[in-house]
Amino acid sequence: MSESDPDRNGPLDGRLVIDLSHALAGPHAAMMLGDLGARVIKVELPDGGDETRGWGPPFVGPPQAPESTYFLSCNRNKESVTADLAGEEGRDLLRRLVRRADVLVENFRPGSLDRLGLSPKQLRAWNPGLIVLSISGFGHDGPHGDRAGYDQIAQGEAGLMSLTGAPGSPTKVGTPVADLLAGIFGVVGVLAALLERGTSGRGQIVRTSLLSSVVGIHSFQGTRWTVAGQLPEGSGNQHPSIAPYGLFPCSDGHIQVAAGSEPLWRSVAAVTGLDPRDPRYAANADRVRNHAALTADLEAVFARDTCAAWSSRLDEAGVPVGRVRALDEVYAWEQTRQQGLVIEVGHPVLGPITLPGPPWRFEDGDAGRDRHTAPPTLGQHDASVRAWLAQAEADDAQADDAEAHAAEADGGEAESDRIAAGHGAADDPGR
């Protein structure tokens, strides 16, 4: 376990995480653990490091030291050290780190670490209390367990693309959601394993995959098939089971309306002038069956005025409504900033930069970080981490020597007491 840094705080303060992962799923998981206060040491290859350092454009910064905005998105609150795990020196550094760690995150193709002599079994032999988070593409066993995992392939294989976009036009989600969900589900497993270790004292191997992360969010679309036998398909920007619920064009843009109950439908009808008693629209099931007609009626009404005007009227009537914002609008929005979803950090090459912030807030006590660090440059902490490790090992050796001397002194004193007690017994006239 790492020593607590006064600049670090949060529920995982004092925990040490070794991040062997690359690309997105694993780095996102390790970043979340760092956001929660853990110390995260990212181990990268000396030649190029994490491949996302080269994913772009866009790149920012000086031409001689360009930084990938992709890498910046998933590596805040980490330190970077370089090591070749295929070499003895690199494996030795990892062994020394693992012995002090609480968690190790990896997302190598199944079997890759085993071939390096770094299987989960070996890692836990070095540290029986270690929790290993292992993320794969399609699972660690089964007929497809050895396949490489990439987000868009997983979105397709796990059915998500068949549910997204217009009917007959499979569409990927605009962010790498399979990767991100695998990281999130992995962190849930790690936190549960840390809690369990507090009782058992044992470490754990936590496994998840891009496939399982997407199947895990099928939600009602999954039970449409498994229970009702109805095969879902893409429904564009309209909800397949609730109406009206979706995207509608106005005279100057788009709004989204969510009428998830009969009272809300009646409010929509009152604002737009539609007849709530129209037999085509009388109940939600009727509106879903006739969603094309209902959508056409609403689009004709909404086209008469602006997004702001319709949003104001619907909001005043208590109907959930929202704009479709571009990302520049999202990050400039007062609500986003007030929720702590935008953070400022100082980067060693780029200077002050703005990053998306952690998605949670802790209201009670000193439970969340109040200081974030920028994603590291490659090998930025080579010297400081190695120096910390050497000092920590020296301190341990000194403590072990002191304990051994104390035990030796206690043993000598006990032997003297035993001898003295023996003499006393021999001289005792009562024996």
Q: pLDDT of 26-51, one tens digit each?
A: 999 999 999 999 999 999 999 999 99
Class of domain 16-220+330-380: alpha beta
Give the pLDDT confidence of 366-384 residue by residue, as tens digits: 446 778 999 999 999 999 9
pLDDT tens per residue, range 212-252: 999 999 999 999 999 999 999 998 999 999 999 999 999 99
Lowest-pLDDT range, 34-38, 152-156, 180-184, 405-409? 405-409
Give me the pLDDT at residue 4, please.
42
Domain boundaries, the chain: 16-220+330-380, 245-324
Let me know: does 140 contact 210? Beta carbons within 8 Å.
no
Residue 319: the pLDDT is: 97
Distances (CA, A) of 336 to 73, 201, 321: 17, 41, 17
Higher pLDDT, 425 or 358: 358
Predicted local confidence at residue 366, as pLDDT = 45
**Contact between 63 and 46 (Cβ < 8 Å):** no
92 vs 3, residue with greater confidence = 92
What integer pLDDT is reported at residue 402 of this predicted model?
84
- What is the rounded average pLDDT for all residues in the chain? 92
* Tens digit of each residue's pLDDT (9 = 90 or more) over 260-317: 999 999 999 999 999 999 999 999 999 999 999 999 999 999 999 999 999 999 999 9
In the chain, the N- to C-terminal Cα span, in Å, equals: 56
Q: How far apart are CA 325 and CA 275, in angstroms?
A: 31
Predicted confidence band of residue 101 (pLDDT cuts 50, 70, 90): very high
**Three-state SS for 207?**
strand
pLDDT beyond 80 at 428: no
Q: Please report which helix (H) or strand (E) contains residue 344, including its range.
A: strand 342-347
Residue 313 is predicted with a pLDDT of: 97
Kind plus residue range of the DSSP H or E element containing 199: helix 177-200
What pLDDT, on the 0 to 100 scale, is given for residue 361? 84
How many residues appear in the chain? Answer: 431
- What are residue 17's DSSP bridge partners? 40, 103
Just list the catalytic residues.
179
Burial of 88 (0-12, 13-18, 19+ CB in 10 A): exposed
What are the residues whose beta carbons fall under 8 Å from the beta carbon of 142, sequence distance 6 or more? none
340 contacts: CB under 8 Å, gap ≥ 6? 357, 358, 361
Q: What is the pLDDT of residues 287-299, one digit of tens each?
A: 999 999 999 999 9
pLDDT at 429: 37
In the prediction, which pLDDT does 6 show? 45
Tens-digit pLDDT profile for residues 36-89 = 999 999 999 999 999 999 999 999 999 988 999 999 999 999 999 999 999 999
Q: Where are the alpha helices (DSSP H) in 46-87?
A: 69-72
List Cβ<8 Å contacts ≥24 apart for 143-152.
145/110, 146/109, 146/110, 146/111, 148/109, 149/25, 149/109, 149/209, 149/210, 149/211, 150/210, 151/24, 151/176, 151/177, 151/178, 151/179, 151/210, 152/176
Share of the chain above pLDDT 90, in %: 84
Token pair recorded at residue 340: 């702590």
Judge contact between 98 and 130, C-beta under 8 A. yes
Reported as a pLDDT band with limits 50, 70 and 90, residue 13 is very high
pLDDT value of position 197 = 97
User: What pLDDT does 408 receive?
Assistant: 78
pLDDT of 142 > 90? The answer is yes
* pLDDT tens figures, 409-427: 776 665 566 655 555 444 4
Of residues 338 and 421, more confidently modeled: 338
Q: How far apart are CA 185 and CA 205, in angstroms?
A: 14
Q: What is the mean pLDDT of residues 12-23?
A: 96
Task: Choose among 302, 300, 190: nearest CA to 257.
Answer: 302
Fold designation for 245-324: formyl-coa transferase, domain 3 (3.30.1540)
Where do runs of H (alpha helix) occur along 37-176? 69-72, 88-98, 112-115, 120-126, 151-157, 160-163
Tell me how far CA of residue 85 lies from CA of 24, 90, 116, in angstroms.
20, 5, 7
Q: Is the model's pLDDT at 253 over the cut of 60?
A: yes
| Structure-model confidence comparison of residues 400 and 250, the more confident one | 250
Contact between 137 and 207 (Cβ < 8 Å): no
Distances (CA, A) of 372 to 75, 182, 369: 11, 23, 7
Question: What is the pLDDT confidence band of residue 404, given thresholds at 50, 70 and 90?
Answer: confident
Residue 347, classed as helix, strand or coil, is: strand
Question: b/e string for 233-245 if b means 16 or more Cβ within 10 A?
Answer: bbbeebbbebbbb
| 269 vs 313: CA distance, rounded Å | 12
Number of continuous H segments (helices) and E segments (strands) in the chain: 17, 13
288 three-state secondary structure = helix
